Chain A
C-alpha cells in the first residue's frame, strides 16, 4: 500500500491534535483534582502495597531518610502488585512521574533493563552480603528470601514436604497462589516449578490444579485476606514469613514447609528512572536503603533477609527458619527470553 505513509502522516497530525486537546482538558482536570505540583526535593517511589503498610518498612525508611537528607521528602506510591510496578512505568513510558522503582526482583531485571527506562544506580553494592554474586550496576538489591509454602499447623499438622507430595495430597489440602503476570511471588513459583521440572512443568501445573483454591493478583490479599482468615491451609509466601509470627505475634502456628526439591531464591531490587530529574537524591535514597540503619528494619517489617550482616541485630527467630535443601535461580536473561512462553504455558495449564 503506497497510500499508507500519507495516511500515516495524516493520522499523526490528527493524533497530535487529539493529544493536544486531551492534554489541555487533562490539565484543567488535574489542576482541580491533584495535590498540585510537588516540592523540588520530593522523591517519588513506586512500590508494592505491603511495603508501605503501617507495619511495613516504608514508614521507617521514609522517616529515616528524610531525617538524613534534610529538606527532602519521600512519597511512596503503593501499586496493587509487585510486577505491576514494572508494568506501570512501561505504560506511563516517558511521562512517568516515578523517580525510583522499588520491589522488582532478579527475575524481572533483564526485562526491566530492556525497557530502556532505568539508569545506573551509582550505588556501591560490592560490600553487600547476598547468597549470589551481584554484578548489576542498575539494580540495588535490598533484601532476599526463598519462596515457600507457609502452612497453618492447626489446620495441617503434617504438611507436604515436596511438590510430589503436594500434588498427591488429599483433596482438602488447598493452596492459594499468586498470578505470575502481576506478582513476583507468583512469577517465582512458576520459575520454581520450571527449574525443578523443566519440560514437565506444564504437566505438573495441570496436576496441581485441583490443589489451587484461587489465584490472586498480589501477595497481600493471598496472605492477609485469605490465608490468615482460614480460607486455605497453605499459601505461597516466603521461608522467612514465620519469623514475623514467631517474633511479633509470638506464635508458632504458621510455619514454612521445607520442600525436598529445594527452594527458589528471590532478591528484591530497586532502581532509578532515567527520566527522573532527581538523580542525585535517588542515589542518596538507594544508598540509604542498603545502609545498616535501613536494613535493620527489613527482617521484621518486610520479613525478608537483610543484605548486610546485622550480627546480633538479626531477630532470634530468623535462626529457626527452614534452610533450603538447594537453591534454584534462573539468570535474568533466561527469564526475559522465556517468560512470555512460560506464562502462556501456565495460562494454558490453568485454563484446562
Chain B
C-alpha cells in the first residue's frame, strides 16, 4: 500500500482519549465546581442522606455475600457432575444473563416472585404466607440472579483447572468430601474470591434499574437512585451533585482497592466466551462419583443443580408466557412502541459504533506503545482510560452533562445524543476487555513481519487485523449493542414523553401497572436484544473463509 501519508501511531489513541476526557472530565469538573458550594456538614448530618449511603453499602454487601455463597456450591456441584445431562446448556444460560436487559429480567423476576407470581401462588397453595418482593428482598433476588451465574462460571473454570492427578491422589489417600474441599477445591477457588467480591460489590453498589424498580419506594434507595430522584423529583441540583460526589469518591476508592487485589483474573475474565462442555473421560467421572458417593451427596448435587436451573430459567419462561397475551398485536402496532423500538435500535447501534471506534482507537496506540516501544505501563494506563465509567457511574455522568448543557439547550430535546454518549462509555470497558487479548496476541505474533513489510496505520487494520480480528470485533459490537439497547439509566434521566426507548417504555408501563402491555414490551425488547446479539456477530464476525467467498 502506497498511501502517500499515514497518521502517526498516536493519533488514534489521542483522539479517543480526547473524546473520552471531554465527555467525562468536563462533567466531572462541572460537578466539582458545583459541589464547592455545598454545606457538607449539613448533608452528612441529614439522616436521609446517611440512610441512603448506608443502604447502598448494605445491599451491595449482602448481594455480594449471597451471590458468592450460592455460586460456590453451584460451581462445586457442576464440577462434581461433569456429565450430567443439560450441563453445558445451564452453563451457557449463565452467560445469557449478561445479554438480557436488566429491566427485562426484572419483569420476569416479578412474574415469578411478585405478589401474584408463580412462587407466591405455590406458597399460597401450601398455605405459607407470601413473601413480599419489593424492598430489600427484591433487590437481593435480582442481584443474585445477575451476579451468581457470573461468579459460578468463574469458579467453575478454576475448579475444572484442578489437574486430574490431584483427583487420583485424593482417591488413593481416601480423602473424605470435606477434606477434598479443604485441601483441593478451596485452594483452587480461594484466590478468585476477593476480586470476584469486589467486582460484584461494585456492580451492585452502582446498580440503578434494579433498585429503582424493585426498591418499592423511599424505603430502599441507593445513592444512584437518589441522584435520579434529586434531579427528576425534587429539582434539587445541589443534592444531586453532593450525592454524585459521594458516589464518585466511593467508586474511586473501590477502583484503588481493585488495583491492590492480587488475583485479578475475574476482572480479566471474559464472560461472553462460550464454555464448551468439558469432556472428561469415564474414568474421571467414575473417580468423582466415588468421592461423593452415597445418597446424600447424590441428592445434594441434583438438588443444587435443578434448583439453580429453575431459579435462572423460570423468570425467562414466565416472561415469554406472559408476553403472549391478548394485547400482543395491539401493543406491537402502537406508535409509542414502534417509536421506542426505532429509537432503541438507533441509540444501540450509534453507541456501539462510537464505543468500538474509541476502543479500537485506544488499542491501536496501546499496541504500538506496548509492543513496539515496550512502554508497558504507559500502554496500560492509556487503556485504563477506557474504564472511566467505572468511577463515574452513568447517573453521575448524566448529572454532570446536565449541568454543562442546561444553559445552552433543553436537554430533553437532545436526549438521544446524551444517551449515546453515556451508553458508549458504559460499553467501552467491555469492548476493551473483549478486544485486548486478541489484538495484543495477533500483534505479538506478526509485528516483526508487518514492520518489515512497512504496513502501517489504516492499511494494517484493513489488510492484517480485520481478517484476524473480525470475530472478536463482532462480539464486541454485539455486546455493546445489546448493552445499550437494554440500558435504563441514561434514558431514565433524559427521557421524556418525547423521546423514549424500549427500556424506558417498559419501565413506565410497569410503573403504571399496565402489566399486559409491559409483558409484550419486555418480550419485544428481549427478542430485539437476542436478534441484535446474534445477527451482529454473524454479519461482522463471519469466519475468514466465508468472507472470501
A joins B in a complex:
yes
Q: Which residues of A contact B (CB under 8 A)?
A: 8, 11, 14-16, 18-20, 22-23, 25-26, 29-30, 33-34, 77-80, 83-84, 86-88, 90-93, 95-97, 179, 181-182, 214-215, 217-218, 220-221, 225-226, 229, 340, 343-344, 347-348, 350-351
Query: In the complex, which of the residues B46, B219, B413, B513 contacts A26, with contact meaning CB atoms closer than 8 Å?
Result: B413
A256 to chain B, nearest CB (A): 23
Cβ-defined partner of A351 (8 Å) among B219, B410, B497, B513: B219
Name the residue of chain B whose CB is nearest to the CB of A93. B406
Q: How far is the CB of B338 from chain A (nearest CB, A)?
A: 13
Contact A179 B412 (CB under 8 A): no
21 intermolecular pairs with C-beta atoms under 8 Å apart: A11-B26, A15-B26, A18-B26, A25-B414, A26-B413, A26-B414, A30-B413, A33-B499, A77-B497, A79-B497, A87-B234, A91-B231, A91-B235, A91-B402, A92-B411, A95-B409, A179-B233, A226-B513, A343-B234, A347-B48, A351-B218
CB <8 Å contact, B417 and A22: yes
Give per-residue flags for B494-537: 1 if the beta carbon is below 8 A from chain A beta carbons, else 0.
Answer: 00111100000000100111100000000000000000000000
A225 touches B513 (CB 8 A): yes
Say how far A33's CB is from chain B's closest CB, in angstroms: 7
Known: A11-B29, A221-B513. A78 touches B497 (CB 8 A): yes
Q: Which residues of B contact A77 (CB under 8 A)?
A: 497
B514-A225 in contact (CB<8A): yes
Q: Which of chain A's residues have a CB closer than 8 A to the CB of B232?
A: 84, 87, 91
Number of A-B contacts defined by CB within 8 Å: 125
Q: Which residues of A contact B497 (CB under 8 A)?
A: 77-80
Instruction: Tell me whether B217 and A215 are in contact (CB under 8 A).
Output: yes
A115: min CB distance to chain B, Å: 9
CB of B511 within 8 A of CB of A221, answer yes
A97 lies within 8 A of B48 (CB): no
Contacts of B514 in A (CB 8 A): 225
Chain B contacts of A350 at CB under 8 A? 217-219
Q: How far is the CB of B31 from chain A (nearest CB, A)?
A: 11
**Closest 8 pairs (CB-CB, A-B):** A26-B414, A225-B513, A19-B408, A95-B410, A181-B233, A215-B217, A90-B235, A221-B512
User: Is the CB–CB distance between B48 and A344 below 8 Å?
Assistant: yes
Which residue of A is nearest B498, CB measured? A34
CB within 8 Å of A: which residues of B?
Answer: 22, 26, 29-30, 33, 46-48, 51, 55, 134, 216-219, 221, 229, 231-236, 343, 402, 404-414, 416-418, 496-499, 508, 511-514
Bound: A218/B512 CA distance, A: 9
Which of A22, A78, A215 has a CB less than 8 Å from the CB of B414? A22
Known: A20-B408, A214-B217. 7 other contacts (CB 8 A): A30-B413, A34-B413, A80-B508, A87-B233, A92-B411, A215-B218, A344-B46
Closest CB of chain B to A83's CB: distance in Å?
A: 8
Query: A22 to chain B: which residues have CB within 8 Å?
Result: 405, 408-409, 414, 417-418
A345 nearest in chain B by CB position = B48
- The reply to whether A8 and B221 contact each other, CB–CB distance below 8 Å, is no
Which residue of chain B lies nearest to A209 when distances are taken between CB atoms in the complex?
B219
Q: Given the complex, which residues of B lie within 8 Å of A19, measured CB to CB?
A: 404-405, 407-409
Give the Cβ gap from B337 to chain A, nearest Cβ, in Å: 16
How long is the Cα–Cα vector from A87 to B236 in the complex, in angstroms?
Answer: 9
B residues near A225, Cβ cutoff 8 Å:
512-514
Contact A348 B47 (CB under 8 A): yes
Chain B residues whose CB sits within 8 angstroms of the CB of A181 once the complex forms: 229, 233-234
Smallest CB gap from A49: residue in B: B512
Given contacts A8-B33, A91-B235, A347-B48, contact A33 B416 (CB under 8 A): yes
Q: Which residues of A contact B47 (CB under 8 A)?
A: 348
Q: Is the CB of A16 within 8 A of B408?
A: yes
Q: Measured between C-beta atoms, what is the minimum distance from A201 to chain B in Å? A: 16
Tell me, rounded to whole Å, the shortest Cβ–Cβ distance linking B490 to chain A: 14
CA A26 – CA B410 in complex, angstroms?
10
Contact between chains at A29 and B416 (CB < 8 Å): yes
- In the bound complex, do residue A348 and residue B51 qualify as a contact, i.e. CB atoms below 8 Å apart? yes
User: Distance (Å) between the CB of B116 and the closest chain A CB?
Assistant: 10
From B406, B413, B418, residue with most partner A Cβ within 10 Å: B413
CB distance from A48 to the nearest CB of B (A): 12
With both beta carbons as reference points, the residue of chain A lying nearest to B414 in the complex is identified as A26
Q: What residue of chain B has the Cβ atom nearest to residue A8's Cβ? A: B33
- Bound complex: CA A15 to CA B218 (Å): 35
B contact residues around A30 at 8 Å (CB): 413-414
Rounded to whole Å, the gap between the CB of A159 and the closest CB of chain B is 23
A99 to chain B, nearest CB (A): 14
With A and B bound together, what is the CA distance between A49 and B346 in angstroms?
28
* Chain A residues, CB < 8 A from B405: 18-19, 22
A275 to chain B, nearest CB (A): 11
Chain A residue at minimal CB-CB distance from B22: A18
When C-beta atoms are compared, the residue in chain A nearest to B230 turns out to be: A181
Task: Say yes or no: B217 contacts A179, CB within 8 Å.
Answer: yes
Docked complex Cα distance between A163 and B427 (Å): 51
Nearest CB to that of B55 among chain A residues? Answer: A351
Are A11 and B414 interface neighbours, CB within 8 A?
no
Q: Which residues of A contact B511 (CB under 8 A)?
A: 80, 217, 221
Report Cα–Cα, A14/B232, bound state, in Å.
26
Complex contacts, A25 vs chain B, CB 8 Å: 414, 417
Q: Do the beta carbons of B410 and A97 come within 8 Å of each other?
A: yes
Report the separation of the CA atoms of residues A229 and B115 in the bound assembly, to the nearest whole angstrom: 14
Cα distance A215–B216 in the bound complex, in angstroms: 8
Do the beta carbons of A220 and B512 come within 8 Å of each other? yes
Q: Tell me if B498 and A11 are in contact (CB < 8 A).
A: no
Find the residue from A20, A91, A215 having the highest chain B CB count within 10 A.
A91
A14–B27 alpha-carbon span in the complex (Å): 11
Q: Considering the chains assembled together, what is the distance between the CA atoms of A250 and B511 in angstroms?
A: 29
A332 to chain B, nearest CB (A): 17
Residue of A nearest to B218 (CB): A350
A3 to chain B, nearest CB (A): 12
Write the nearest CB–CB distance from A80 to chain B, whole angstroms: 7
> Which B residue sits closest to A10, measured CB to CB?
B29
**What is the distance, in angstroms, from A218's C-beta to the closest C-beta of chain B?**
8
